[in-house]
Every structure is written in structure tokens, then in C-alpha cells.
Amino acid sequence: MDVYLYKQFSINLNPKTMTQRDNQLHLLRQEVINMSTLVRIQIEKGKEMLVLRNKNSATEIVCTKKEIDAYECRVDARCGKLFAVHNPLMHDMSFLLLSMKITNNLENIANIAYVLSQYILENKKTNTDLLRTSALLSQLDVSNDILWDIQLAFENESPKLADKIMQRAVILKMISDKSIQNLEKIITNDPENTASLNFFISIIHKLQRATDQIKSIAKDLLEFEGSELVTQLINYQAN
């Protein structure tokens, strides 16, 4: 299956004839996919950490953040090299820009898990009532579903998933807006929990900013399909 998918993107995976460009694009794709998998694991650990107040999970999240940051740096460096050395055409250019945008979004979402881990490691108590009112666990679930859809769309070059991503992003925005309203009402009536409430609100705002970027990525996935069609037309006319 992988050979077919990569062939769609004109990457030659035959070791005997693989060019430097093919190899760099292949490695780039794999690094984005691996980073996405790592971030989704971070989000799952973050949920477990919040529910169980598991400091071991919090420590793992802190350590893994360095690996995620390293992935983003490698992707940016590889894209920079491809821009500089291989003078990419339209479709390659779209792929490189999409790769950088996805990894930036992944890093932002991974940072949410990191902030939550600091909260636990500082011995802050997780108020179960506030956790339920904030619907933070549900929002993390939807975020992970979206990341999985983005990974599938990117890996399989399937912009058809873009509509599904947009729908999930709208659902996430609705949940987060309602959560913020509920938390702000509680602040008025329960000033003693203001610090915890503001923390949850700040996390939800981070998720909202990540959601805005996800919508942009979904649009880029559709444009990526368009650039592929243009490239195929140019190649057809050239032949």
C-alpha cells in the first residue's frame, strides 16, 4: 500500500533508482507521521494524568516533549534543504508548506499536554467537579480524533477527509465555547477556586487556537489536491 501511496506523490521508493529528492521527501513524510503519532500518545497520557493525578505520566510527557520539539526542528530543516537544493515545483512546494504547518500545529497541541503535566508536577489538586464542568477530557478526545484524521489525510493524500476534519473542529469549538461560559459563571460564585478555573480556561483557549490552525490545515489539504491536479495536467500536456 505504501508504495502505491508514495507513487501518487511521484516519490520513487526503488532503492536502486531512488534520487536524493525522493529520499528526502520520503523521510520528511515519515517524520511528520511519527511526530503525529507521538503527539496523540501525549494527549492520551495527559488525560490519564488528569484523571489519576499520575506523576509518572507527567514526567513522561515532559521527557517526550523534547523528542517532539526535535521532530519539528528536523522537519523544518529538511524542508529548508529541499527548498534550497531541489527548487521544488508546485506540488512539492504545497507538500513542504503543509508539512511545516502540520508539525507546528502538532507542537502547539503537544504543548498543552506539557502545561498540564507541569500543573500535576507542582502538586496542584485536580478538582473533579471543575474537570467535569470544563469538559476538558472530551475536548482532548475530539482533538485526538482530529489529529488522527489529519495524519490519515496526510499519509494517504486524501483531502476528502478535510470535510470530516472541519466538522470535528466545529464540534470542538462548540464544546469549548460552552465550557468557557460555564467556568466563567462559576468564577463569580466561587472566588476561592479562581486560580484553578483560570487555569482550565487558559488550556481551553490554547485548544481553541489550535482548532483555528486545524481549520487552516483542512483548507490546505483541499488546496494540496488542487495543486496535484494541476501538476498532473502539466505533465500530461508536456507528454
Q: What is the pLDDT of residues 91-130, one digit of tens each?
A: 788 889 889 999 998 999 999 999 999 988 887 777 788 8
CATH 3.10.450.350 fits 2-238, yes or no: no
pLDDT at 172 over 80: yes
Nearest to 196 by CA among 122, 124, 92, 133: 124
DSSP for 58-69 reads HHHHHHHHHHHH
Bigger pLDDT: 223 vs 206: 206
pLDDT score of 180: 93
Per-domain residue ranges of the chain: 2-238
Cell numbers linked to 233? 495536467
Whether residue 230 is predicted with pLDDT greater than 70 in this model: the reply is no
Q: What is the mean pLDDT of the chain?
A: 81
CA pair distance 153, 195, nearest whole angstrom: 39
Q: What integer is the mean pLDDT of 202-213?
A: 89
Q: Within 13 Å and on the Cβ side, how many CA atoms surround 232? A: 10
The stretch 56-81 carries a mean pLDDT of 93
Q: Provide the pLDDT for residue 17.
A: 53
Please tell me the predicted confidence (pLDDT) of residue 129.
82
In the 8-state DSSP scheme, what is residue 192?
G
User: 90-121 and 194-238 are packed helices; what angle lies between their axes, rounded to 10 degrees?
Assistant: 160
Please give the model's pTM, rounded to 2 decimal places.
Answer: 0.80
Q: How confident is the model at residue 193 (pLDDT cuts 50, 70, 90)?
A: confident
Predicted confidence (pLDDT) at residue 205 exceeds the cutoff of 50: yes
Q: What is the pLDDT of residues 142-169, one digit of tens each?
A: 999 999 998 888 888 776 788 888 889 9
At 5-45, the pLDDT tens digits run 333 344 445 555 567 777 888 889 999 999 999 999 999 99
What local confidence, expressed as pLDDT, does residue 232 receive? 37
Q: Residue 233 has what pLDDT? A: 33
